[in-house]
Chain A
Amino acid sequence: MKQEQSLDATDTAILRALQLDARTKYTQIAEQQGVSVDTIIKRLNKLQTDGTVKRTTILLDPRRLGLEIIANLAIATEPSCTEEVIAHLRGREGILFATHTMGQYPILAIAATHTMNEMNALKEAIQSHTKVHDTKASIWVDQILLCPQNFELEPEEAPR
């Protein structure tokens, strides 16, 4: 079990600002919080060292990079073989994410391909794995809405 981090108002303000725009100037956060830039940098270093902050990154639109088709795949397998199938999936081109889940299906995967034909070929290839019983794909349409800032950073206020 990982140790949970308790964040104070300054930590929360830093994370909130960076969640919305990772390039936010430290001086701007410092001004809003009424603390020095050094404090912001020190806090952020601490959050990075203890592993709360992994890194900053940009969010890309996969479709603008030629990955036109995005889908989530629900995969049913022989119960004893889910780990084997997940390992197989993770090594495949086009699979962005694959995990073991509890619920309707034992495996959930997210895939991105250039064309519908490629997605279909990927689905058929997964289907042809001897331990896979069934694969159902749902294609993502319209805009994909991202809300990384929806994380609750104030656990004491969060409904638990």
Chain B
Amino acid sequence: MELSVNHLLGIKYITEADIQLIFETADHFKEVINRPIKKVPSLRDITIANLFFENSTRTKLSFELAEKRLSADVINFASSSSSVAKGETLIDTVNNILSMKVDMVVMRHPNPGAGIFLSKHVNASIINAGDGAHEHPTQALLDAYSIREKLGDIAGKKVVIVGDILHSRVALSNIFALQKLGAIVKVCGPKTLIPKHITSLNVEMESNLNAALEWCDVANMLRVQNERMDISYFPTTREYTQQFGLNKSILDSLNKEIVVMHPGPINRGVEITSDVADSKQSIILDQVQNGVAVRMAVIYLLASKIKHNED
């Protein structure tokens, strides 16, 4: 088995079989990262550039750790301290880096479609680590992987994504991934933060948080992305929290135990309270741990398609 693609640009472009292959490979890497020595030498001859044109802590660390656990050579790049500030174009920046013999590029970029654009113009395997409000495929994979780990299977499970759907690349990638794996997805949030044509993705809308939580098996609480909001989408943070924030009393009032997820970073007390984030129903820290294993799987599988000695 191998992946049907040479780049991971979005969940939209991969198949269910690809996702299952990534999960099976991630199972093996999860065992590897729990060993006393958490490193395997598979990617000794691969060099990976992490290009972050937008801030990130956990995704960048997670990718870097995954790359190092596979013994790849890693170079890091942050746009704030680079020639991008001097006006260099994306293709020039990347081609300059690639001329130093880099095999794979992990890129986060504020513009939607940046990864797709790059994959058409440069000769390297591209992994999208978030492109604007478009996709964040590895996050969706690790979310789905964490649900699979917690509930055994994804097919038939009901997942509600709560919060800022409009600005969220996590939401879009999650919808694609969960639907490909057979889950039923609803979104819940203020009308202003839900994209107009969301129903064309076969996703139902629910404006009442309680009803959504009563319906679901898993609630994925998204962060309110203040930095992407150019206008006011809701009156006050306090009002948002009252309507769409998850607290312990709502969680306890439900007639079943749901799984609580959050892609991080958490605004404690806004979309989710501390006691919920730290409760036993929350798998937030499992998501982070699984992130490394899933990213190792993605990098490993894409690297196996790179041929150095083509004859």
> Does A associate with B in a complex?
no
Task: Identify the B interface with A (CB < 8 A).
Answer: none
